């Protein structure tokens, strides 16, 4: 058994953390955070960029194009070194995730992309909230897992279970193959890659991704009804690309942020790990898995505030005052979506109980839905003050409605 060598977290100035929490200026280095707080070194795994944490050594400022990808110690040092060569700064996380906590120098607001390489412990409820809010606000997430029954620290949870628990309602549009799912432990090299030239994950700045080599990985089922932006990037050999199942790599958007899903950790293994760990293979170079992974990391990293509709979704989402207000009987709710997607409109009473709701996958642009003033049992909802709430992938909007006799 290896013992991870961890250095204490340096005490950084709170002011620096606050300033760093602002969006990076155009042209600034992208900031990647590699997680090592969820047992990423359990068992045979060594999913760290370096044992010097949070900042790897030798210093990344000394890395040049010819620097070997083994300059740091860890089975995913190549990912870190290759990102530094592309202008990123890289850091290792060794504390619980927070978002918006200026006292935490590793707060997610200080980063452009979060990389979680096969977590082996559950995210806490507050960590789940932090991750999803970070992505919603424009952060990137690279979610890597492994095959079904891959619980490396015997706590009862493997990475497919842990990722599904992050997002039980599939806000991100993806279900990880686990117990009861097909193809939850596959060994396969697939070149069944999304061919769209507009797809920056498969056709990105690193070039065209040739495919993926899985050595015991799981596959995804996609749920476009839950997140219309979800798309397959690599499918299993022979599977039609219209299929929402048997997907080896996928991507989606959530709010202004972007997520990449990879069903196996073997492709991120670079074949050189900490001393004592010999159960490693160079997946990074096998069938050039790194092309897909580096394209995806660059695509997911926080957007500059100059992009298109999908990146301004939150600003373009609106819910108008009900008409009439106050109302005696029916009320009209007008809202507008930044893009096609699922919308849920609900009316809550002052006690927070849901009186009425309507959900529908809806087109981009303005909509008008009418509430007849009756509850779900068909009874008149009565007089009083009600909260009207619009829930979408781009965020939530609320307004109030008064009903009078």
Element (H, E) at 213: strand 212-217
Record the tokens describing residue 344, joined without a space. Answer: 């849920």
By CB under 5 A, name the one of 41, 219, 246, 272 that touches Ca ion: 272
User: Site map for Ca ion, 207-246, x if CB under 5 A?
Assistant: --------xx------------------------------
Q: Which stretch binds Ca ion (CB under 5 A): 19-27, 93-101, 139-147, 329-337?
A: 139-147
- Give the pairing of strands 192-193 and 231-235: antiparallel
Give the number of residues in contact with Ca ion, rule: CB under 5 A.
Answer: 13
User: Per rule CB under 5 A, is residue 58 in the interface with Ca ion?
Assistant: no
Q: Determine the Cα angle at 291 with ends 285 and 297, to 5°.
A: 120
By CB under 5 A, name the one of 82, 270, 286, 289 that touches Ca ion: 270
SS3 at position 177? coil
Q: Determine the Cα angle at 21 with ends 314 and 173, to 5°.
A: 40
Instruction: Tell me the C-alpha to C-alpha distance, in Å, between residue 362 and each of 18, 169, 335, 376.
Output: 38, 18, 11, 22
Record the tokens describing residue 221, joined without a space. Answer: 């089922």
DSSP state of 91: E
Minimum CB distance to Ca ion smaller for 199 or for 270: 270
Beta pairing partners, 384: 403
User: Per rule CB under 5 A, is residue 159 in the interface with Ca ion?
Assistant: no
User: Per rule CB under 5 A, is residue 189 in the interface with Ca ion?
Assistant: no
Minimum CB distance to Ca ion smaller for 264 or for 311: 264
Q: What's the min distance (Å) between Cβ of 364 and Ca ion?
A: 39
**Residue 162 and residue 123 in contact, taking contact as beta carbons nearer than 8 Å:** yes
By CB under 5 A, name the one of 9, 153, 200, 399 that touches Ca ion: 153
Minimum CB distance to Ca ion smaller for 110 or for 184: 184
User: Per rule CB under 5 A, is residue 183 in the interface with Ca ion?
Assistant: no
By CB under 5 A, name the one of 51, 93, 120, 256 that touches Ca ion: 120
Minimum CB distance to Ca ion smaller for 69 or for 254: 69
DSSP state of 291: H
Binding site residues, Ca ion, CB under 5 A: 77, 120, 146, 151, 153, 155, 157, 215-216, 264, 266, 270, 272
């Amino acid at each position: 058994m290896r013992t991870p060598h961890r250095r204490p977290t340096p005490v950084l100035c709170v002011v620096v953390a606050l300033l760093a929490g602002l969006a990076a200026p155009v042209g600034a280095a992208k900031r990647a955070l590699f997680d090592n707080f969820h047992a990423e070194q359990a068992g045979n795994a060594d999913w760290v960029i370096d044992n010097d944490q949070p900042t790897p050594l030798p210093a990344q400022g000394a890395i040049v194009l010819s620097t070997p990808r083994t300059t740091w110690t860890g089975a995913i040092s190549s990912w870190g070194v290759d990102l530094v060569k592309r202008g990123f700064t890289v850091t290792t996380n060794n504390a619980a995730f927070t978002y918006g906590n200026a006292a935490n120098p590793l707060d997610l607001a200080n980063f452009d992309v979060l990389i979680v390489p096969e977590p082996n412990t559950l995210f806490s409820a507050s960590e789940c909230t932090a991750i999803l809010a970070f992505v919603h606000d424009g952060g990137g997430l690279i979610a890597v897992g492994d095959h079904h029954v891959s619980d490396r620290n015997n706590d009862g949870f493997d990475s497919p279970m842990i990722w599904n628990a992050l997002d039980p309602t599939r806000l991100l549009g993806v279900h990880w193959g686990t117990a009861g799912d097909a193809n939850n432990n596959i060994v396969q090299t697939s070149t069944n890659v999304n061919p769209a030239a507009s797809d920056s994950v498969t056709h990105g700045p690193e070039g065209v991704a040739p495919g993926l080599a899985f050595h015991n990985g799981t596959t995804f089922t996609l749920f476009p009804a839950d997140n219309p932006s979800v798309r397959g990037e690599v499918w299993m050999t022979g599977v039609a690309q219209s299929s929402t199942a048997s997907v080896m790599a996928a991507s989606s958007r959530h709010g202004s942020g972007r997520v990449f899903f990879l069903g196996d950790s073997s492709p991120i293994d670079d074949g050189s790990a900490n001393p004592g760990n010999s159960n490693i293979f160079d997946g990074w170079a096998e069938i050039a898995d790194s092309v897909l992974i580096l394209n995806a990391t660059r695509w997911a990293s926080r957007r500059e505030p100059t992009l298109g509709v999908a990146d301004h979704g939150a600003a373009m989402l609106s819910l108008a005052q009900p008409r009439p207000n106050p109302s005696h009987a029916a009320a009209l709710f007008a809202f507008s979506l930044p893009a096609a997607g699922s919308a849920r409109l609900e009316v809550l009473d002052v006690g927070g109980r849901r009186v009425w709701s309507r959900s529908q996958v809806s087109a981009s642009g303005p909509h008008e839905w009418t509430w007849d003033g009756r509850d779900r049992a068909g009874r008149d909802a009565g007089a009083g003050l009600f909260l009207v709430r619009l829930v979408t992938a781009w965020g939530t909007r609320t307004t109030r409605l008064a009903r009078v006799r």
